Amino acid sequence: MLKLVSTVLLSAVLSSPALGQQAIRIGAPQPMTGPDAPFGDKFKKAYGMAIEEINAAGGVNGRKLEIVIEDHQAKNALAATVAEKLITSEKVLVMTGGRASGQAMEIASVCQRLKTPYLVDHPSADMITAKGFEFVFRNNPTGSIYPQAFLDFISNHPGAMPKSAAVVYDNTLFGKTIATAAMKKLKEKGVPIVANEAYPVNTLDFKPIMTKVKGLNPDYMLMVAVATTDAILLTRHAKEMGIRPRAFVGFGGGFGVADMHTQLGPLAQNVFSSAAWSGNTNDPKVKAFYDKFHTKYGIWPHEHEVEGYSAIYILADALKRAKLTGDLEKDRDAIRQALLATDMTTVFGKVKFGSWTGPLGDTYTNQNVYSPEHSVMAQWKDGQLLNVWPRTFAETSLTFPDPLAMK
């Protein structure tokens, strides 16, 4: 079994490690086959580019970085298996990746037990950093932070406070967390929730739900989707059924991808996307990253690629500061200590790990303390998704209420 090593060497530079100096290995379980394989591929590309850049610039204290990706096929048990394999057989110093929360939960559990630091780069379940695992760190925001920009908008934009809201969300950990966080705040502000509808992920037909919602005539239409297709179909069917609220607000990566425009065309106009993170192309550094990624791989990076790319830089920064001795156990703890002292800015934004209380009352351990600031609300305008809230990040002025709204 030990011979069945699938090391993914991601660049030509890597295949010829510097003489005498072993490469520093980072383990990353990702779905490389199966239904989630497209996501695994996004991360593979992102890690590859970051590692190539770092190695080209001399590596980490003269040592090359190497990423070892193992396929977990989006299965929890397999995620635990490959995490175990990476740590005990492949002897990686530190872990990242995971992709979906179920798999990340297993990886976090294994890493905590085997005392190996794990930097979560994308999975968003609050629970991952709310169980007191001191070896688990997370750069990206938790699910309950997704609605922050939206909640900030309704509180601070004049006249934006909803008179009523319909909330439609998928019945997954992701959908449920976001919907709960949003509804909790709305209720505190006395906003009536006229529809509270959970749908199974990958629903093929939203027309029945939308028919019901239309009858309720909500002031705001909130839609949560973990799957891009659900996001697009929700929007399509809501508009087709003739729901006309003052604002459509989408939560989840799907509402921010180019497919929204290419597949929905004019139906996407003025739909808001409140995300945990939204690429701020006002920032020249982010713009440069986008361009370079596009030149290298021919695709524009999104949330996933930015998260994967940034994770490698955060790890490289910690590895630079950690004193590595060659003793696996000591080195892993040294990296953990170094991660605790992280204070830097990546393409994703500022990062510093700390313990604090999340919007739903969870106590986070080693969760990026800047997470709430990453939340941005953007709006679709003539085929472009532009940041509109908070005002400091705004690329354009927002259109509210929706001109099509029922008077």
Find the binder of other proteins among 9, 53, 160, 197 (CB under 8 A).
197
**Alpha helices for 249-401 (secondary structure H):** 259-264, 284-297, 303-321, 328-340, 371-374
Window 20 to 39, contacts with other proteins (CB under 8 A):
32-38
CA angle 76, 69, 291 (to 5 degrees): 115
Name the residue nearer to other proteins (CB basis): 187 or 391. Answer: 187
Q: Is residue 164 involved in binding other proteins (CB under 8 A)?
A: no
Q: Is residue 204 involved in binding other proteins (CB under 8 A)?
A: yes
Find the binder of other proteins among 207, 285, 320, 330 (CB under 8 A).
207
Torsion sign over Cα 283, 142, 47, 55: positive
Name the residue nearer to other proteins (CB basis): 38 or 326. Answer: 38
Q: Is residue 357 involved in binding other proteins (CB under 8 A)?
A: no
Q: Is residue 208 involved in binding other proteins (CB under 8 A)?
A: yes
- 401 preceded by a cis bond (ω within 30 of 0): yes
Q: Which of these segments, 15-23, 144-152, 204-212, 274-282, binds other proteins (CB under 8 A)?
A: 204-212
Q: How far apart are CA 22 and CA 27, in angstroms?
A: 15
CA-wise closest residue to 92 among 112, 73, 113, 111: 111
Q: Is residue 403 involved in binding other proteins (CB under 8 A)?
A: no
DSSP-assigned letter for residue 257: S
Q: Is residue 257 involved in binding other proteins (CB under 8 A)?
A: no
**Alpha helices for 9-159 (secondary structure H):** 37-56, 76-88, 101-113, 148-156
Name the residue nearer to other proteins (CB basis): 53 or 84. Answer: 84
Find the binder of other proteins among 11, 25, 63, 76 (CB under 8 A).
76
The DSSP element (H or E) to which 177 belongs, if any, is: helix 173-188
Assign 63 to helix, strand or coil.
strand
For residue 326, the minimal CB distance to other proteins (Å) is: 20
Q: Is residue 345 involved in binding other proteins (CB under 8 A)?
A: no
DSSP-assigned letter for residue 97: -
For residue 215, the minimal CB distance to other proteins (Å) is: 4
What is the side-by-side order of every strand in the sheet holding 220-224? 193-199, 165-170, 220-224, 247-251, 272-275, 376-381, 384-389
Name the residue nearer to other proteins (CB basis): 64 or 244. Answer: 244
Q: Which residues bind other proteins (CB under 8 A)?
A: 1-2, 4-6, 32-38, 41, 71, 73, 75-77, 80-81, 84-85, 88-89, 102, 105-106, 109, 113, 125, 127, 131-133, 171-173, 175-176, 197-200, 202-205, 207-209, 211-212, 214-215, 227-229, 232-233, 240-242, 259, 262-263, 265-267
